Amino acid sequence: MKIKRVMALAMAVAAVAVMNAPATQAAEAGPTVPLAAAADGKLHVYYDFNRSRHCASWEGYSSDWGKCRNEVSSLWNNGYPGGHDDVWVYWGRNHSGAHRGVHNGVVLNNLRQWTFDANTGRGSGEVLDNNISSHKWTAL
């Protein structure tokens, strides 16, 4: 019986320690980008979900995503707040067709869950997954 009480006390102490862990440690432990990641001013795009297999990254506009065009399944807007912060992604080349805004700091790990905005042109309502051709920075 004494062993059970000691084990229960040890588990309670461990649970309190985990609950009181700093937020940065908890963020670093997960599969997402740590909350304190420094902005690099770029839009990063990936071939696969959960930011696997990096395809490209851009600091400025891109009117044609080249090898990444219609091939991307996740993205990360790591722009600078106040400058390169929010970004529009477009269905067509040259910033044409439907678009969707992605706010600064946002990670979209599964582009199947997101669609282009309604009534914004050709491609409206379609999923973003494997369907983005260009982007430009903006203030949303």
pLDDT score for 140: 60
CA torsion sign, 109 to 114 to 120 to 124?
positive
CATH number of 42-138: 2.60.20.10
Length of the chain: 140
pLDDT tens column, 50-99: 999 999 999 999 999 999 999 999 999 999 887 678 999 999 999 999 99
Longest Cα–Cα distance of the chain, Å, equals 73
Query: What's this model's pTM, rounded to 2 decimal places?
Result: 0.73
Asked whether 64 and 93 are in contact (CB, 8 A), the reply is yes
Name the pLDDT band for 3 (thresholds 50, 70, 90).
very low
CA distance 104 to 106: 6
What residues does each domain of the chain span?
42-138
pLDDT score for 81: 83
pLDDT over threshold 80, residue 5: no
pLDDT tens column, 15-55: 333 333 333 222 222 334 444 478 999 999 999 999 999 99
